[in-house]
Amino acid sequence: MQNPFDLTGRVAVVTGANTGIGQGIALALAAAGADIAAVGRSPAQETVEKARALGRRAEIISADLSTIEPVDRIVDEAVEKLGGLDILVNNAGIIRRNDSLDFTEEDWDAVVDTNLKSVFFLCQAAARKMIPQGRGKIINIASMLTFQGGIRVPSYTASKSGIGGITKLLANEWAAKGINVNAIAPGYIATNNTAALQADAARNRSILERIPAARWGSPDDMGGAAVFLASSASDYVQGHILAVDGGWLAR
Ligand code: NDP
């Protein structure tokens, strides 16, 4: 029997691949056999070098996803440099914190444009390539705030609950065309994004007390879920939001 998690010969575009969860996912996909197009504002040099050390082809694609301007070019460059597009991981994301009473339009637009609008239009650009080939895997990075309200992060909560919605909608529209659209909802993952929370001893303690697994997740913890959703092992999984959260939502 063939290994259902084998990604040999597949090309994966991963946004925000230079650090954190995006880097963890890119390297897990590379370890499973995929070639990697590492997309981001900062060049994902380390990610590309590590993927190449695993014997994969890997290329940097420079793009700022605060607007949708680069989405078609990202797909074109992946196809040009690596010969195809089989997997898209929409990971790039930002967060802005403030009380809802004081929240500004700038902080709303910056987060929603990057975390939701660019994700939708990159899904669209990728699907225009994937649908004619009758095959493709799209993985959107959601959050616990896809399911919960959170506090002082209104645009982030809107963007991540929106990710849940468009993941299901696009699965509805594209499942019969051979495209799987799913999401991963990470719990508390130790990255630059959460460095301030980790450094705050009181916050850190209360977070750890609330996580059944009693530890922060790592970018590597996201990798296995991504390989599953990128591989033929998940061919009948559609519109699913897979929490990888150490049990946070089970509590
Ligand atoms: P990091 O801050 O460590 O990394 C964010 C990544 O997104 C970076 O590669 C960054 O690139 C990229 N990025 C941000 N803005 C843009 C942009 N305009 N254009 C292109 N790339 C951009 O965050 P994490 O690894 O923690 O988060 C990754 C994803 O996971 C995000 O969507 C986040 O919301 C989500 N998530 C994270 C959780 C956590 O606990 N860490 C929990 C739940 C969800 P650059 O370095 O160049 O800015």
Domains and CATH numbers, the chain: 11-244 (3.40.50.720)
**CB 169 near ligand 1, within 6 Å:** no
> Which atom of ligand 1 has the smallest separation from the CA of 21?
25
The pLDDT of 217-228, averaged and rounded, is 98
**CB 19 near ligand 1, within 6 Å:** yes
The residue whose CA is least distant from atom 22 of ligand 1 is 92
Percent of the chain with pLDDT strictly greater than 90: 99
Per-residue pLDDT reduced to its tens digit, 72-102: 999 999 999 999 999 999 999 999 999 999 9
d(CA 42, CA 124): 24
- Is the pLDDT reported for residue 1 higher than 90? no
Per-residue pLDDT reduced to its tens digit, 137-169: 999 999 999 999 999 999 999 999 999 999 999
> Which atom of ligand 1 has the smallest separation from the CA of 19?
9
The alpha carbon of 15 and the centre of ligand 1 are apart by a number of angstroms equal to 9
Burial (CB count <10 Å: 0-12, 13-18, 19+), residue 204: middle
d(CA 170, CA 175): 8
- Which residues does residue 217 pair with via DSSP β-bridges, in sequence order? 189
156 catalytic residue (yes or no): yes
- Is the pLDDT reported for residue 114 higher than 90? yes
**CB 93 near ligand 1, within 6 Å:** yes
Active-site residue, from 70, 155, 156, 188: 156
The pTM for the full model equals 0.98
- Is the pLDDT reported for residue 216 higher than 90? yes
> DSSP letters of the chain?
---TT--TT-EEEEESTTSHHHHHHHHHHHHTT-EEEEEESS--HHHHHHHHHTT--EEEEE--TTSSTTHHHHHHHHHHHHS---EEEE---------GGG--HHHHHHHHIIIIIHHHHHHHHHHHHHHHHT-EEEEEE--GGGTS--SS-HHHHHHHHHHHHHHHHHHHHHGGGTEEEEEEEE-SB-SGGGHHHHH-HHHHHHHHHH-TT-S-B-HHHHHHHHHHHHSGGGTT--S-EEEESTTGGG-
Per-residue pLDDT reduced to its tens digit, 44-63: 999 999 999 999 999 999 99
pLDDT at 69: 98
**CB 189 near ligand 1, within 6 Å:** yes
d(CA 15, CA 122): 10
ipTM attached to this prediction: 0.99
The residue whose CA is least distant from atom 6 of ligand 1 is 16
- Is the pLDDT reported for residue 110 higher than 90? yes
Cβ-count burial 70-98 (b if 16+ within 10 Å, e if not): bbbebbebbeeebebbbbbbbbbbbbbee
